[in-house]
Structure 1
Amino acid sequence: MKISKAILLLTLISTFTLTGCFHATVETGKAASNEVIEQPWALSFVYGLIPPATVDASEKCTNGVAKVETQISFLNGLVSAITFSLVTPMNIKVTCAAGGGMANDITSPSENTVTLSKDASVEETKEAYQKATDLAIKKNETVFIQYN
């Protein structure tokens, strides 16, 4: 009887000390819309080595993505602890951007393009990247490197 109480106590202590909550947010800088894609209880397996299914936001978020959030709640962590991390559920939330798709945020490639030969030497490649960096800083815009 003492052994079963000790195992129960050890299980309870492990459950509360080995599980933890986790919340990560990635913001793109775009204004958020009311359009949200949620995938509650997205399952990853074998200590997270097999990730959950990909959330395809391309059809629903025509203006791009404003924010992506992943969260492992206490309940998700509890399930993970009970299954010895063979199954780890998480909540995934994608918030679509309000307007002005990604293509609208980038100026025409012809205006901000640095051309680089496919046969370029290391030194020429460094110069092209430096030129693109300087141009991007000067214009505060995206600069493309085009390989010919």
Structure 2
Amino acid sequence: MKNTFRVMTAVVAASILLTSCYSYTSVVGKGAIGVEKTNKWNHYFVEGLIPASVSDSNKLANGSENYTVHTRQTFLNGLISAVTFGIYTPTTTTVTK
């Protein structure tokens, strides 16, 4: 019984400590030429399964033909997701022109 408790504690600790934030990058055209950045939050519910409001990278690029889109879950996004137990799970999209 005591050994089972230790194993379960180790599994729970590892699952908390070894989690990571996801991120993905898309390059449009030749990619970002300058350093001008625009950020916008995307709003999801139920661990990201239900999108409520998702940003449009074309609008964030403001007509630019060459830009890079980076979508990720930042520390703040992850903290909010953890506080709400995954009911609300935001992400951040950054468009660099």
TM-score (ref. length: structure 2): 0.62
Deviations 1:5-45 (A, max 9, x none): xxxx9xx9599348532221111341423332211x43211
Distance in 1 separating the partners of 2:14 and 2:77: 15
CA 1:63–1:75 in structure 2 vs 1: closer, same or farther (change >3 Å)? closer
Q: Give the unaligned 5+ runs of structure 1.
A: 1-8, 97-148
Matched residue count:
85
CA 1:15–1:89 in structure 2 vs 1: closer, same or farther (change >3 Å)? farther
Q: Show the counterpart of 1:21.
A: 21
Whether the 8 Å CA contact 1:19–1:78 is kept in 2: the answer is: no
SS in 1 for 2:58: coil
Distance in 1 separating the partners of 2:36 and 2:49: 30
Distance in 2 separating the partners of 1:58 and 1:65: 13
Q: Show the counterpart of 1:45.
A: 45
Distance in 1 separating the partners of 2:26 and 2:60: 20
Deviations 1:34-82 (A, max 9, x none): 332211x432112212223222534753232421101112332222122
Whether the 8 Å CA contact 2:37–2:94 is kept in 1: the answer is: yes
TM-score (ref. length: structure 1): 0.44
Structure with larger RCO (C-alpha < 8 A, sep 6+): 2
Whether the 8 Å CA contact 1:15–1:78 is kept in 2: the answer is: no
SS in 1 for 2:26: strand
The Cα RMSD (Å) is: 3.1
Identity %: 35
SS in 1 for 2:80: helix
Q: Give the unaligned 5+ runs of structure 2.
A: 1-8
Larger radius of gyration: 1
SS in 2 for 1:48: coil
